[in-house]
Amino acid sequence: MRVLVTGGAGYIGSVIVEELLNAGHQAIVYDSLVHGHLDALHEGARFVRGAIQDRQMLVNALRDNSVEAVVHMAAFIEAGESVRDPALFFQNNTMGALQVIQAMIETGVKRLVFSSTAALYGDPEHLPIAEDDIVAPTNPYGESKRLVEQMLRWIAPANGIAVTSLRYFNAAGATERNGEDHDPETHLIPLVLRAAISGNPVSIFGTDYPTPDGTCVRDYIHVLDLAQAHLLALQSAVPGLTIYNVGNGNGYSVREVIQSVARVSGKTLQIIEHPRRPGDQIATVASSAKIRAELGWQPRYAAIDDIIGSAWRWRVGHPHGYAR
């Protein structure tokens, strides 16, 4: 299958491209490189540099490469930034996704896997979270993704497009080739790994949450397991929108993640506690029963030390990230 991956030079996108090529598919990476990395581009993939707001360039990329399916990854992801500049996130994430969808309609591409997020659920009433639970984002980032899902509920069946929306929980870990390198970095695991290498202290934002140790709880999923969910989702050919959670079903607190990094790295970490940040969810843990039952997806790297261990090995080999 010929698959165009928007954001394919980013963290998750680059691993999806790896797995597509390993499975014998053809991959076309469409990326602006605003947040992606040239060094993350796979030599086996074709690269088109472009913005998702440029519909004509998208149309050309789809037509020129006879694309059969799209994996739409390109998005701004930092929840705190979305609180400070909501318009930026709606412009890029929501309106940009609409440009991708319209380019697909214009070129007759009928399969789409959409990168959604567990941020749609806000602070859930119970755990684990199922796909039919209340959607109530606590930040504009989550809202920008919710709006795309709402559009797709109408657009997909009207145009005969088979859409699978994957609501990611917290991607982490690395392959030998690709790892997590954002600028600025806001995700917990890479920040703690950097602190383990540099000796700088680790910041915890909020220690008074209603959780066992007072810090936020997250469900971490290895990026390879997440990539495999995309490959399975590409097999869908039923017009309309189907939604799946993708997570391990295990919650780990901020303090537990820091303890895991200490075990994996053998380093002693200094902690500095700060007040809560706006937009942070208290706890998110996935029920992935639906994707397991319907697509046969099974995580292979569920243990937190295994996930963090792979990220640690990549970080040690890339202490300054990719090209920096």
Q: Is the four-CA dihedral 81, 142, 303, 128 of positive or negative sign?
A: positive
Nearest by Cα to 49 from 28, 77, 20: 28
Can 252 be counted among the known catalytic residues?
Answer: no
Contact between residue 227 and residue 19 where contact means Cβ atoms under 8 Å apart: yes
Check 141, 168, 209, 220 and give the catalytic one: 141
User: The tokens 């469900």 sit on which residue?
Assistant: 219
**HEC letters along 91-156:** HHHHHHHHHHHHHHHHHCCCEEEEEEEHHHHCCCCCCCECCCCCCCCCCHHHHHHHHHHHHHHHHH
**What are the catalytic residues?**
141
